[in-house]
Structure 1
Amino acid sequence: MSKENKFNFTEERLRKIKPAATGKRAYYYDQSTAGLRLTVTDRGGKSFQVQTWSPAKQKPIISTIGKWPSVPLHEARSRASRLLVEVRDGIDPLQLKRQRRAEMTIAEVAEIFMQEHAKPNKKSWRDDECRLNKRIIPDFGAKKMSDLSHEDVKRWHSGLVSAGLSRTTANRYLEVLSGLYTVVLPKTENPCDGIKHYREVQRDRFLNQDEVRRLFATLEAEQNEDIRDYILLSLFIGARRANIQAMRWSDIDFNLQQWCIPFHQSKSGSTMLIPLVVEALEVLERRKATTTSAFVFPGKGKTGHLVDLRRPWQRILNHAGIDDFHLHDLRRTLGSWQAITGASLPVIGKSLGHKSTAATSIYARLSKEPVQFSMQTAVSAMKQIAAMPAEETAANVIGNKTTQER
């Protein structure tokens, strides 16, 4: 342990500690309170823990106190002192924590799950939070963790589908509920165990020629510039919804005609360089000239950027006469049109940021040029179709032939 990692904790010094190296964790030890340490992740998450020797178990034990700054330093020191006394008295703090949490309500454990696991570790934590708040807490929040039975969960899972949710969505809800037990109470019986997931059918939906024409016509008449530009960029770039929503001007290089998605925002966990076709650059340059925000799509909420597009998106689909089409299907549409216009699967995978172990060696040899050319060809084809009269496209509508969505 270096001297730099052991010092007298203060709120100010904790605030100045930088994230750990990529893929690593850093540990800092308090000189004022025996056993108290701070764990820092590569994303900057900071949590208090107690590390001490257990006479009962004859081995070192580590117990997590909570995340800083939600747990302030003075409270962490107080809890650490109590834990050390309990360990000296032969009490297993981990077992005691499990027992206490088993008697908590599901709503209380959901809060622990979000603060200690989902937010520090998952890029998709907002999806977990949404599922907890929308169904799990309203349906089970008042129940104690130990009171929820296997039959309760089984009926609930099937009831989600009966209520109109898709089988895929019902499976995602089940996984979040199960996560409350596997993450917060790993040695407690999980009532979700043994419940069979519904079979999920992979979507293969993308826009055919006639739908492309109708969508572009609708967007041309759309008055809300943010929604119109967001949809156009989604179609021209093919990036994931959350990445485009959080797009920053500082990550766009107009000279190199590319957009850099930082590693901590990409699904693959690696920095992604996305080529920008001419049409995407036109949208971005127009928006850049009229904004002072750090975000390409600023919003009024806590994130600072655009988040919820469900209502305007459904309105646009209704106007365009397009059914059963999700925002994510815009990404699939670009990939499918790349395939239609002759692109190879490795080029499509590179442009969409797919991460495949089998194809990694091929992807690594691809330069930006063929990828950007493929994207430009696909976008140009869609724009050409959109400019045609309806009677010309109706006679030659491309069927829903797709590339595999990874």
Structure 2
Amino acid sequence: MATQKLGRRLLATIGPVTKPCIIYDSDLKGFGIKLLPPSGKNPEGAKSWIVEYRPGAGGRGVAKRRVVLGAVGSLTPEQARDAAKTMLASVRLGADPSAARAEKRSAKTIAELASLYSAETDPVRKARTVQTYATYWNNHLLPALGSTIASAITKADLVRLHRSIGAEKQVTANRLLTLLAHFFSWAQDGGHVPKGFNPASAIERFKEAGKERFLTADELGRLGAALRLAETAGIPWAPTDLSNPNAKHATKQPEKRVTKISPQSAGAIRLLLFTGARLREVLHLEWKHVDLSRGMLFLPDSKTGKKVIVLGAPAIAILQSLHDLAVEDARPAKPGVTKPLSAYVFPTEDLKRPKHDLNKPWRLIVRGADLQGLRLHDLRHSYASIGAAASLGLPIIGKLLGHRATKTTERYAHLDADPLRRATDIICTSITAAMEGTPA
């Protein structure tokens, strides 16, 4: 272990060595050059600037640690000496550069932690939520952040991502921040990032305009007429109903070109309107969850957990009609030939699974009723709005809809005009009486 002044003059005289050795600087203790003999990987040998130190309180009882600053060719002697001085100064203040580097090398990337996060959180989430979050990770977060060390993510990184995605998809951009905020909170609990580290928590979201449409009495009339027509005579054909109007299966008589929907599809749409239930709550409904005698649906699981839906008389009649139809269809056409009764109220053709959606019949009904842009979820809003306008009270409406938080129901508060109208009538009557000098 030679000791010399490490500078340009010495570097010019150092030739190949036959075995590994270190030349330490005579002026700066701990600073040196590590020399390696020629090898298959390095035919001319290798030279690296290094720093050696004893961490903590030091002393001969503490093992030395060595940090490589860089190859001799990548740093000049002056740059290497300055870097060594800085590192040794930090050691005197209690730092441990070698341990810090080892910790950084073992730190997990966003992609690595995302895999662990999904494995822990997916089992306790709804299947639809798992699917949505997987889309967020695969389409947005992993391509942009996947290779970055989680603890190195900055607020500025997430702001850029949020603004970039929000240029076209503001709601998606907001949902990504919500997912990341939970992700970093989980990472804190697991010790993957420092406590209090959550760069997604304090970023301002885009303002979201609620998509709420309430059907008027006239629109409800048109919707009902379209439903009746669709399940009986059929709604007149439109060019959008067939991609090729000249196809063999397309009737050549325009007046006979109509499209019908099944009683099950019509029943599902009506049930959405008469219960205010969510689409999946209706489509995934099983007969064992239906209690027609008490007029209730007992759902074991929904968006907000276990839920009871109280049925009105029209909803009970719809379900009774569908049950009668299902029993009739299950009757054997021939002696000894049995047909099973599906467990689902709205099954697929094979009777083994629930319907996935109502897209085709709904598009037909919306066109037939001339209600462009109306969504199936707007039936839920309409159910709630009618209750609010009738002054039924937000707590009652919230219970009917299965809202977990009262804030969710408060969006309908402005529709309850009766109490306000009565109040303003009283005030206006008093003002009129005072102005005209008559008793109030």
2: CA distance, partners of 1:324 / 1:239: 20
Separation (CA, whole Å) in 2 of partners of 1:323 and 1:98: 56
- Rounded to whole Å, the distance in 2 between the matches of 1:97 and 1:238 is 54
Give the match for residue 306 of structure 1. Answer: 355
CA distance in 1, matches of 2:347, 2:105: 45
Q: 1:208: how far off? A: 1.0
Length-normalised TM-score, structure 2: 0.49
d(CA) in 2 for partners of 1:110 and 1:103? 8
State which of 284, 299, 307 in structure 1 corresponds to 2:319. 284
Moved more, 239-248 or 316-325: 316-325
1:277 to partner: Cα distance: 1.9
User: How far, CA to CA, are the matches of 1:324 and 1:158 in structure 2?
Assistant: 28
Q: What is the Cα-based RMSD across aligned positions, in Å?
A: 3.7
Residue by residue over 1:253-292, the C-alpha shift from the partner in whole angstroms, topping out at 9 and shown as x without a partner, is 1111111123xx14444x4332222221222123223442
Per the TM alignment, residue 197 of structure 1 is displaced from its structure 2 partner at its CA by 1.2
Q: What corresponds to 1:244 in structure 2?
A: 282
- How far apart, in 1, do the equivalents of 2:104 and 2:271 lie? 47
Q: TM-score, normalised by structure 1?
A: 0.53
Relative distance call for 1:323 and 1:184 in structure 2 (3 A) is farther
Q: Distance in 2 between matches of 1:174 and 1:332?
A: 27
Q: Is structure 2 residue 412 aligned with structure 1 residue 402? A: no
Unaligned runs of 5+ in 1: 1-95, 359-399
Indicate the structure whose relative CO is greater, using CA pairs within 8 Å and at least 6 residues apart: 1
For residues 322 and 266 of structure 1, do their structure 2 counterparts lie closer, same or farther at Cα, with a shift above 3 Å needed? same
Within the candidate set 168, 171, 180, 2:174 is matched to 171
Task: Using the TM superposition, give the Cα deviation of residue 235 of structure 1 relative to its aligned residue in structure 2, in angstroms.
Answer: 0.5
Q: Sequence identity of aligned pairs in percent?
A: 28
Aligned to 1:63: none
**Residues 296 and 311 in structure 2, CA contact (< 8 A), matched pair in contact too:** yes
Unaligned runs of 5+ in 2: 1-101, 232-259, 327-340, 408-412, 418-440
Distance 1:131 1:327, change over 3 A: farther
Deviations along 1:90-137, one digit per CA (max 9) or x if unpaired, are xxxxxx9998672362xx5444333321332x34x523422432x431
For residue 118 of structure 2, the aligned residue among 105, 114, 119 is: 114
Q: Residue 299 and residue 171 in structure 1: after superposition, are their counterparts in 2 closer, same or farther (change >3 A)?
A: farther
Distance in 2 (CA, whole Å) between partners of 1:403 and 1:118 is: 40
Q: 1:160 touches 1:170 (CA, 8 Å); kept in 2? A: yes
CA distance in 2, matches of 1:217, 1:99: 68
Q: Which has the larger radius of gyration?
A: 2
Q: Once the 2 structures are TM-superposed, how far is the Cα of residue 236 of structure 1 from its aligned partner?
A: 0.4
The verdict on how the C-alpha distance between 1:343 and 1:104 changes in structure 2, with shifts beyond 3 A counting, is: closer
Counterparts of residues 2-401 of structure 1 (less than 5 Å): 102-103=108-109, 105=111, 109-120=113-124, 122-123=125-126, 125-133=127-135, 135-142=136-143, 143-146=146-149, 150-163=155-168, 165=169, 167-184=170-187, 186=189, 187=191, 188=193, 189-220=197-228, 221=230, 223-225=260-262, 226-262=264-300, 265-269=301-305, 271-291=306-326, 292-299=341-348, 304-310=353-359, 312-355=361-404
Are the equivalent residues in 1 in contact too, given 2:110–2:142 (CA < 8 A)?
no
Q: Is the 8 A contact 2:213 2:378 kept in 1?
A: yes
Structure 1 residues 190 and 273: alpha-carbon distance in aligned structure 2, compared to 1, 3 A threshold = closer
Q: Give the Cα separation in 1 of the matches to 2:363 and 2:104.
A: 45
Aligned residues: 257
Cα deviation code 1:125-176 (max 9, x no counterpart): 523422432x43123335225275544432332333322x3x4443223212
2:415 partner amino acid? T
Query: What secondary structure, in the 3-state scheme, does the structure 2 residue paired with 1:289 have?
Result: helix
Distance 1:298 1:257, change over 3 A: same
Code of the aligned partner of 1:256: R
Distance (whole Å) between structure 1 residues aligned to residue 325 and residue 132 of structure 2: 33
* Cα distance in 2 between the residues matched to 1:322 and 1:290: 30
C-alpha distance in 2 between matches for 1:173 and 1:298 = 34
